[in-house]
Amino acid sequence: MPLFDGKDKSRYATFTRRTLMTGGAVGAVLGALGVRLYQLQILEGEQFRARAEQNSVSARLVAPLRGRIFDRFGVELANNRRNYRVLIIPEQALEGVEAALDTVGRIILLTDRDRARILRDVAQNKKFVPSTVAENLTWEEFARVNMHLPYLSGIQPDAGETRDYPFGDELSHVLGYVAAVSPKDEERDNDPVLELPGFRIGKRGIEKAYDAKVRGSAGVSRVEVNAYGRVIRELSRDPGSPGADVWLTIDRELQKFVVQRVGAESVACAVMDVQNGDVLALASTPGYDPNLFNVGINATQWRGLLTDDHQPLIDKSLAGLYPPGSTFKPAVALSALDAGAITPDFAVNCSGSLALGNYVFHCWKKRGHGHVDLHRGIAQSCDVYFYNVARRLGIDGIEAGAHKLGLGHFTNIEIPGERAGVIPGRAWKEATYGAPWLEGETLNAGIGQGYVLVTPLQLCTMAARVASGNEVNPRIVRVVGKEVEPRPALKRLAFADDALAAVRSGMNAVTNDPSGTAFRFRIPNPGLEMAGKTGTAQVRKISSAEHLKGVTKNENLPWKLRDHALFISYAPVSVPRYACSIVLEHGAIGHPHVEMVRDILIFAQQRDPLKLTPAYPVNAASLGGASPTRAA
Amino acid sequence: MTHSYAPSRRPPSWFEKFLRVNWGLVLLIAVIASIGCAMQYSMAGGHFYPWAAPQMERFCIGLLILMAVSLVDIRVWMTLAYPAYAISFLLLIAVEMVGHVGLGAQRWIEIGPIQIQPSELMKISLVLALARYLHGLGVEDISKPHRLLVALVMIVAPAALVLKEPNLGTATILLADGVSLLFLAGLSWWWILPSFAGLVATVPVAWHFLHDYQKRRVLTFLNPQSDALGAGWNIGQAEIAIGSGGMDGKGFVQGTQSRLNFLPEKNTDFAFSALGEEFGFMGSVALLVLFAIVMFLGMRIAMASRSQFGRLVAIGVTLNFFFYIMINAAMVMGLIPVVGIPMPLISYGGTAMLTVMFGFGLLMSVHVHRQVEIPRKPGAIL
């Protein structure tokens, strides 16, 4: 049998023909691929190059480190601690945000509420903006997340910094707190750093007032990222600038003592350097823990703060308005002496009340004080004496004098939220009530009642001005960053020296004369003696019928209706350095508030923070900070 | 007809065969494989591990296989054609039952330490078996319905099994291999043209038999922007990689797309886009030209063979190689939906490399034994 025949020949011919056709087809396909390459790489190359660049380089904001807040000796009142957190970037969660949360929820605890919040954040943000999944994780939790990272698409661990207030509620109203940025904040402020996940800004106190400086400015890090958003390397970094540190005039030790001494009472207390207005302690108790607002306060805690009748959310020292009561009397006396309305020898006979037209004005002492001159009038706080002084001086004189002592207007302390209070006058009454001033109202104003409303900080300022004779204003910020806050030169108070001396002598008698209203609570330590003035502010109206029957004692009233107890003082009497004011809300039973001030002023003088070298520089040249050392 | 290699003559020694090997083709394959290893080196960020070194190792093994296969007499391969087909087919059924689930598809089977991908074996076996079957048929026999039916069953049965794995890419290649062999063996145009028309008509029906992920790929392909971060991601990123290469590329080991993992499966299915990114239009076209030369040589070898079996085997493995290239390149350039087909000699992967090198070995065997004449009737092959 022949191996090959015609059949082979014909099929070989067919094969060759068809192979050549196939070869042509192969060539055409390869040509088409080449054309496609030309289209992609030459015609659209630039476009794709740009997209590749976008793909791999991403600019990220670097959160600036928030400036710290120090007390005068360099104790950190607000600082930053490591915050291990986990973020989610929705656009990188390839299986969806829900799935990513399911997975990460197996590694760290996520409650349903957490999930709801995360999903809300994600919905509000752009797809490439990270949202916080969890923060303040322990190192172990954080390490676990990092370990499982290969399975967690869209999840990004992040070691950031968060605000910490090591002393909790001790300084809540001075420092304020930081909290998450609200949509309103973002409208007001177009700093891009606000878009960083979990960024916090100052909402109250110093944190709010100095937020722009303490916040710092965001840096930009240009990083090369891979498809999962993982950073491969950093191409360039503008670190931005950390926020400025703020040095306060506060002495944390004194602040702590004040807060502990007043205990659970509802109290506003200020301690000030009479020479320059440096606020050494400023307390409004009870306070709140500012860390709660940073970490995220829960509903129960928030409701607790809101409904507490001691009002922990209100800064009573600046925003609490109280009738000064008898603590106003030194101001009236000083104004009258200065205006020449009275001399220190001016005397009246107190029978326990004073009649004016149809009205009867009562003295706190029903039986009367008898013969009262200025010294006794202040020492024993005779109301009838001051009714007479006020009548002689007139409301215009009271108004002008009170303003000179810093009452009834903003002290302009650096903490926001301050209220001005009221020193009434003819124009004020006309503007507020559309009615003319009545003489009886002058008498009420003369004993710090009626329309008069002041803040505890104003009272402290007044005490400092009386003590020093200088027009001091309270200041709580000394240094911001490297800049020493400017201090205007102190003016002498526009009161005659002998008038000041007469009032000081009366205030000295309040505590150091056996007839004084606060003699029992004097400072016995030689050289540390304090001068002061007590006061009681009525919370309720006392009718004339009640006056006849006998005024109900505070002990028999519910807490909310009891009088406020006030006290202003300065020490030492000989060379005053420390001024202190206190308002003990609804506390006018005995004199616990005077006892508090006594202890505070003893502590302050024995510690003597004004004689210690402050850690912050006194002038800009020596900036750098020394550790607190006791001056010889 | 010259009888320079008549059966009466003494068969050539191993050494003589060795000299007959088409060394130009071997060199060309080595050059392409070197480019592949270089890409693997680049995609590991300039390191031999984890990809470049094993790839080189496999290429060396592949080269040994190529040489060994090429020296074996073509008639031995013809004898082995049907058994090889039968074994491959049984393995395909086995993978259906005991197959290892990898990447969501049953593609591997483990025998001891070796992982076997029966669908890859089938690519070679199908070419061999079809070539042998068609070798016995004259031009006019092929178009007879019962003959054609046998051939079609030989093609469709394994293709269907592979499709069920599911492995759309390989099933497509098996079908393309088989159909093109029928065409080259001389199937009548009266069969070809109506079938083609019928095929187009059944596309909507076939749609229903696709897996969800396959449907999604097709839909994504038709509108890549519909899911730019999901299924469209692969295509989009591959196009960005290639396109951003421009005329002369970003340079060796400088491709941002591949190095930063924007490119999916950069070292396997999408290796060609990484090459396009780093070497640009010039580099990509140069590679296509090298491939074209390989196919030109393959076709020349096919046409020079004196046996129909040799011709069909040679053209079969050449076209198999071509289909890999065509599908992979079209896929990474966004011309067809994403299917898991590697770029031969460039993509990382052991099985594909060995299959391709085995195929080249057969091609070389045809070349070495191009003078061997084999009778059409069975029974007296050797």
| 3-state secondary structure string across B55-69 | HHHHHHHHHHHHHHH
DSSP secondary structure code for residue A521 in this structure: G
| C-alpha closest to that of B219 among B200, B199, B235 | B235
pLDDT at A1: 39
Residue the block writes with tokens 């061997």: B372
Amino acid in position B174: L
* pLDDT at residue A576 is higher than 80: yes
**Under 8 Å between Cβ of A115 and A123:** no
* Cβ atoms A468, A275 nearer than 8 A: yes
Average pLDDT over every residue of A353-378: 91
C-alpha of B165 from chain center:
18
Partner-chain contact B246 A41, CB within 8 Å: yes
Return the structure tokens found at A33: 């691929």
Q: Identify the top-confidence range among A127-136, A459-468, A485-494.
A: A459-468
The three-state (H, E, C) secondary structure of B136-181, written as one string = CCCHHHHCCHHHHHHHHHHHHHHHHHHHHCCCHHHHHHHHHHHHHH
- Selection from A145, A76, A75 nearest residue A108 by Cα: A145
Helices (H), A38-91: 45-56
The 10s digit of each residue's pLDDT in A308-343 is 888 898 999 999 999 999 999 999 999 999 999 999
End-to-end CA distance of chain A: 130
Q: Please give the average per-residue pLDDT across B212-237, as a whole number.
A: 66
Please tell me the least confidently modeled range out of A139-148, A235-244, A272-281, B48-57: A235-244
CB contact under 8 A, A228 and B241: no
pLDDT bracket for residue B216 (50, 70, 90): confident
Quote the pLDDT of residue A622.
41
CA of residue B150 relative to chain centroid, distance: 23
Q: Measured between alpha carbons, how far is residue A12 from residues A19, B293, B309 in Å? A: 10, 23, 11
d(CA A101, CA A113): 13
User: Which distant-in-sequence residues (6+ apart) come within 8 Å of A410 by Cβ?
Assistant: A418, A420
Residue that the structure tokens 């007839």 belong to: A515
The residue written with tokens 């191409």 in the block is: A235
Task: Calculate mean pLDDT across residues A160-184.
Answer: 89
Q: Measure in Å the smallest separation between the Cα of A109 and chain B Cα atoms.
A: 29
Out of A34, A51, A56, the one facing B288 most closely (by C-beta) is A34
Q: If residue A447 lies in a helix (H) or strand (E), which one and from where to where?
A: none
Please tell me the predicted confidence (pLDDT) of residue A256: 96
A88-118 pLDDT, tens digit each: 888 778 788 888 888 888 888 888 888 888 8
Length of chain B: 382
Q: Which residues fall within 8 angstroms of residue A375, CB to CB, at 6 or more apart?
A: A344, A502, A505, A506, A509
Residue B322: list chain A partners with CB under 8 A: 26, 29
Say if residue A133's pLDDT is above 60: yes
Which positions in chain B touch A19 (Cβ < 8 Å)? Answer: 184, 299, 302-303, 311, 315
Q: Pick left, alpha or beta for residue A43 (phi over 0 → left; psi -120 to 50 → alpha; otherwise beta).
A: alpha
Distance in angstroms (rounded) separating the CA atoms of residues B42 and B48: 9
Q: Is A276's pLDDT higher than 70?
A: yes
B106 pLDDT band, cuts 50/70/90, is: low
Predicted pLDDT at A627: 36
Q: Which of A508, A384, A405, A496 is nearest to A452 (CA)?
A: A405
Whether the predicted pLDDT of B225 surpasses 60: no
The two counts, helices (H) then strands (E), for chain A are 22, 21
The reported pLDDT for the residue numbered B160 is 92
**Based on C-alpha coordinates, what's the Rg of chain A?**
36
Nearest residue to A168 (alpha-carbon basis) of A262, A255, A243: A255
Calpha distance B122→B172 (Å, rounded) = 13
Residue of A nearest to B322 (CA): A26
Residue A222: pLDDT above 80? Answer: no
Q: Considering only CA atoms, which of A181, A556, A507 is closest in space to residue A327? A: A507
pLDDT for res B381: 52
Q: Testing the interface with B: which of A19, A42, A235 to mutate, by most B Cβ within 10 A?
A: A19
pLDDT in the model for residue A583? 95
Which pLDDT score, from 0 to 100, does residue A295 have? Answer: 76
8 Å CB contact between A100 and A88:
yes
Mean pLDDT of B309-335: 93
Give the SS3 label for residue A65. coil
Q: Collect all residues of chain A within an 8 Å Cβ-Cβ radius of residue B277.
A: 52
pLDDT at B233 over 80: no
Active site (annotated) includes residue A266: no
Question: Regarding predicted confidence, which is higher, A181 or B378?
Answer: A181
Q: Kindly tell me if the per-residue pLDDT of B2 is higher than 70.
A: no
Q: In what helix (H) or strand (E) does residue A205 lie, and over which residues does it extend?
A: helix A205-209
* Any A CB within 8 A of B311 CB: yes
For testing the chain A interface, which of B139, B143, B305 should be mutated: the one with the most A CBs within 10 Å?
A: B139
The answer to whether residue A30 neighbours chain B at the CB level (below 8 Å) is yes
Cβ contacts of A55 on chain B, cutoff 8 Å: 237, 240, 256-257, 260, 262
pLDDT in tens, A400-416: 999 999 999 999 999 99
pTM for the structure as a whole:
0.61
Residue B363 predicted with pLDDT over 80? yes
What does DSSP assign to residue A268?
A: E
Other C-beta atoms lying within 10 Å of the C-beta of residue A412: 9
* SS3 label, residue A491: coil
> Does position A250 have pLDDT exceeding 90, yes or no?
yes
pLDDT, residue A183, reads: 81
User: Quick check: A218 and A189 in contact, CB under 8 A?
Assistant: no
**Mean pLDDT, rounded, of chain B:** 85
What is the pLDDT averaged over residues B185-202? 87
Residue A451 has pLDDT above 50, yes or no: yes
Q: Which of B244, B281, B308 has the CB atom closest to A52's CB atom?
A: B244
As a whole number, the mean pLDDT across chain A is: 87
Q: Looking at the predicted structure, is the pLDDT value of residue B100 above 70?
A: no
Q: At B1, is the pLDDT very low, low, confident or very high (cuts 50, 70, 90)? A: very low
Query: Which of A94, A143, A121 is closest to A196 using CA atoms?
Result: A121
DSSP A280-346: EEEEEES---HHHHHH---HHHHHHHHH-TT-TTS-HHHH--B--GGGGHHHHHHHHHHHTS--TT-
Mean pLDDT of B209-222: 72
d(CA B192, CA A18): 13
Question: B231: closest CA among B244, B207, B214?
Answer: B214
Chain B residues 102-141 with a CB less than 8 Å from chain A:
138-140
Residue B337: how many other CB atoms lie within 10 Å: 20
CB contacts < 8 A (A, B) = 158
- Answer whether B178's CB lies under 8 Å from B130's CB: yes
SS (H, E, C) chain B: CCCCCCCCCCCCCHHHHHHHCCHHHHHHHHHHHHHHHHHHHHHCCCCCCCCHHHHHHHHHHHHHHHHHHHHCCHHHHHHHHHHHHHHHHHHHHHHHHHCEEECCEEEEEEECCEEECHHHHHHHHHHHHHHHHHHCCCHHHHCCHHHHHHHHHHHHHHHHHHHHCCCHHHHHHHHHHHHHHHHHCCCCHHHHHHHHHHHHHHHHHHHHHCCHHHHHHHHHHHCHHHHCCCCHHHHHHHHHHHHHCCCCCCCCCCCHHHHCCCCCCCCCCCHHHHHHHHHHHHHHHHHHHHHHHHHHHHHHHHHHCCCHHHHHHHHHHHHHHHHHHHHHHHHHCCCCCCCCCCCCCCCCCHHHHHHHHHHHHHHHHHHHCCCCCCCCCCCCCC
The lowest-confidence range among A246-260, B210-224, B364-378 is: B210-224
* CB neighbour burial string for B127-152, b if at least 16 within 10 angstroms, e if fewer: bbbbbbbbbebbbebbbeeebbeebe
In chain A, % of residues over pLDDT 90: 54
Comparing A347-356, A533-542, B21-30, B73-82, the range with the smallest average pLDDT is A533-542
How far is it, in rounded angstroms, from Cα A505 to Cα A127? 72
Torsion of the alpha carbons at B38, B44, B50 and B55, rounded to the nearest 10: -20
Decide: helix, strand or coil at residue A399.
Answer: helix
Rounded to two decimals, the ipTM of the complex is 0.90
- Residues of chain B contacting A8 with CB distance shorter than 8 Å: 138, 308, 376
Paired tokens of A406 = 């810093």
Domains of chain A: 60-248 (3.90.1310.10), 260-294+317-607 (3.40.710.10)
Min Cα separation A624/chain B (Å): 45
- Chain A CB contacts of B370 under 8 Å are none
Q: Is residue B357 scored above 90 in pLDDT? A: yes
Query: Which string of DSSP letters, residue by residue, matches A550-588?
Result: -PPPGGGS-GGGSPEEEEEEEE-SSS--EEEEEEETT--
Residues 191-220 in A contacting B (C-alpha not used; CB under 8 Å): none
Task: Name the pairing type of β-strands A131-137 and A76-88.
Answer: antiparallel
Burial class of A113 by CB neighbour count within 10 A (0 to 12, 13 to 18, 19+): exposed
- Collapse the DSSP code of A400 into the 3-class scheme (helix H, G, I; strand E, B; otherwise coil) and give the result: helix
Q: Compute the distance between CA of residue A369 and CA of residue B260 in angstroms, rounded to an integer.
A: 92
CB-CB under 8 Å, B311 with A15: yes
pLDDT for A629: 37
What tens digit of pLDDT does each residue of A557-568 get? Answer: 888 889 999 999
Note the maximum CA span of chain B. 68
Q: What pLDDT score was predicted for residue A5?
A: 60
The model's confidence at residue A229, banded by pLDDT at 50, 70 and 90, is: low
pLDDT per position as a tens digit, B297-320 = 999 999 999 999 999 999 999 999
